Chain A
Amino acid sequence: MTPLETGLFGNFTAVHLAYLFKSMGWTLLLSLLAFALGAVGGFGVMLARVSPRRWLRAAAMVYIEGVQGIPLLILLFIVYYGLSLYGYSLPALVAAGLAMMLYVSAYLGDIWRGCIEAMPRPQWEAAECLALTRWQTLRLVIVPQALRLSLPPTVGFLVQIIKMTSLASVIGFVELTRAGQVINNTIFQPFLIFSLVGAFYFALCYPLSRWSEAMEKKLNVANH
């Protein structure tokens, strides 16, 4: 039966809609988990990238280039199958969270490195004149200023993270996309269901996109 024959909503009921809403919560939870873990990892990667030690910089660079070259889907499979083969059977949420942490930390580390490096050199030199240690310089001088700069791209990347969580459906984690698939398997109305799922994602992502854009505009006004 085509949607034209069953009517626009067909067998789609309020129960299905409630199920989608509930799974949106899981999407949000996974996004937050990925962002929190990725932020910790990303901060480490960023520190390594601006480290005075050459080998540490090189290692971080290889990590970033490597992870940015692998699709998240493959990374998910590696973590999911890899951990289970070594005897750790983890819930899909944890496996997805770990894989996304690897992925997110590479990107956030790269974004934040850019912000740190955008700080003017004299800031470092002035801190050195005040006899601040390297760690103090970063903590008290550079990072607080770079934070303002890093906010728009970080929020922009949050949108990417929310969209990325749709991949967790592949290893069986029931978030928004997986919920859509489950409903579709019972009532087979893919056009309606995936449009709705898309609308849910849009409702989550669009405000963040606009916020990131607005902040960026404000920064540009301040800088020019």
Chain B
Amino acid sequence: MSRYTLDFSPLLGYWDVFLLGAWLTLQMTALAVVAGVAVGVLVAFGKRGRNRALAWTCTVYIEIVRNTPFLVQIFLFYFGLASFGLRMPTFTAAVLAMVINIAAYAAEIIRAGLESVPRGQIEAAECLGLSRWRIGWHVMLQPSIEKVYPALTSQFLLMMQASAMASQISAQELTAVANTVQSDTFRSLETYLVVAALYIALSLCIKGLAALLGRLVFRRRRVLSQAHRPGRRAVPAAAVGGTA
């Protein structure tokens, strides 16, 4: 049995490749998250809606995506469609597969938020004569998103990790970059350790960004956190009662 010593020096020359990979992973995740949440919102409303056929379709879609592995979904999406003559670049295929995947999870999370909106609030909004769209946006969607924001964030983190599987259809991202570097340098363990550290850094980045974004987007939360800060005068009640 030989004694193996870790040696990271051959990897130093590849720092820009690693960074590019991390950037691609981040890009992929950001694209998938934005599009996925948009689709997820539609699916969540569709599942709750009065149209039975649409609600059923949304349920089937959510259950199929949530009960099959992402890897199989990517294969089906990329190789399966290619066999019908529909070819696309690997990056596009990976992002689209991620959108399909995250939309189902996001829909289920957002639906839970929508369900927690008290019936009385919707009725009150109807009494005030708000249109259906405004009720949907102001009374239902905004507070629910705020409520389920932590769950959504951890789903985004899981998606970022799942994007590693895109390397299996040789889409360029951090894991694919690692596979290339390790076959160049024969330093497989070191390469994957570096990449693991990069993934941890990325997820810390995303966590921080998500917290910051939450502060920016949810005004009610910002106002409340300021009101609770010790040594400050309480914010006037009118400001707290703003658009929630």
Say which residue of A78, A166, A188 sits within 8 Å of B72 (CB atoms): A166
Instruction: Judge whether B211 is part of the interface by a CB distance below 8 angstroms.
Output: no
Query: Cβ of A190: which chain B residues have Cβ within 8 Å of it?
Result: 75-76, 79-80, 82-83
Instruction: Judge whether A191 is part of the interface by a CB distance below 8 angstroms.
Output: yes
Of residues 167 through 224 on chain A, the ones whose CB sits less than 8 Å from some CB of chain B are: 167, 169-170, 177, 180-181, 184, 188-191, 194-195, 197-198, 201-202, 205-206, 209
Binds B, one of A12-20, A80-88, A116-124: A80-88
User: What is the CB-to-nearest-CB distance from A192 to chain B, in angstroms, rounded to a whole number?
Assistant: 8
Q: What separation, in Å, do the CA atoms of A4 and B67 have in the docked complex?
A: 28
Instruction: Judge whether B193 is part of the interface by a CB distance below 8 angstroms.
Output: yes
Instruction: Judge whether B59 is part of the interface by a CB distance below 8 angstroms.
Output: no
A194 with B84: CB separation less than 8 A: no
Q: What separation, in Å, do the CA atoms of A181 and B75 have in the docked complex?
A: 9
Of residues 154 through 202 on chain B, the ones whose CB sits less than 8 Å from some CB of chain A are: 157, 161-165, 167-168, 175, 178, 182, 188-189, 192-193, 195-196, 199-200, 202
Best-buried of A2, A81, A188 by chain B (most CB within 10 Å):
A81
Majority secondary structure of chain A interface residues (helix, strand, loop or mixed): helix
Q: What separation, in Å, do the CA atoms of A83 and B57 have in the docked complex?
A: 46
Query: Cβ of B163: which chain A residues have Cβ within 8 Å of it?
Result: 71
Q: Which residue of A lies closest to B64 (CB)?
A: A202
Query: Cβ of A3: which chain B residues have Cβ within 8 Å of it?
Result: 83-84
Interface string of A62-77 (1 = CB under 8 A from B): 0001101111111101
Interface string of B62-106 (1 = CB under 8 A from A): 011011111111011001111111000000000000000000000
User: What is the CB-to-nearest-CB distance from B186 to chain A, in angstroms, rounded to a whole number?
Assistant: 10
Q: What separation, in Å, do the CA atoms of A198 and B63 have in the docked complex?
A: 12
**Tally of contact residues, A, Cβ under 8 A:** 44
Which size bracket describes the interface of B in this complex? 35 or more
Say which residue of B1, B82, B162 sits within 8 Å of A71 (CB atoms): B162
Known A73-B164, A87-B1; judge A201-B175 contact (CB<8 A). no
Say which residue of A66, A85, A188, A189 sits within 8 Å of B189 (CB atoms): A85
A191 with B69: CB separation less than 8 A: no
Query: Cβ of A170: which chain B residues have Cβ within 8 Å of it?
Result: 168
Instruction: Judge whether A57 is part of the interface by a CB distance below 8 angstroms.
Output: no
B72 with A198: CB separation less than 8 A: yes
Q: What separation, in Å, do the CA atoms of A164 and B82 have in the docked complex?
A: 25
A180 with B75: CB separation less than 8 A: yes
Q: What separation, in Å, do the CA atoms of A209 and B108 have in the docked complex?
A: 13
Interchain residue pairs with CB less than 8 A apart (15) = A2-B84, A68-B157, A69-B199, A70-B196, A71-B163, A73-B167, A77-B188, A86-B4, A87-B1, A181-B75, A184-B79, A188-B83, A191-B81, A195-B76, A198-B76
Binding site for B on A (CB under 8 A): 2-4, 65-66, 68-75, 77-78, 81-82, 85-87, 159, 163-164, 166-167, 169-170, 177, 180-181, 184, 188-191, 194-195, 197-198, 201-202, 205-206, 209
Binding site for A on B (CB under 8 A): 1-2, 4, 63-64, 66-73, 75-76, 79-85, 157, 161-165, 167-168, 175, 178, 182, 188-189, 192-193, 195-196, 199-200, 202-204
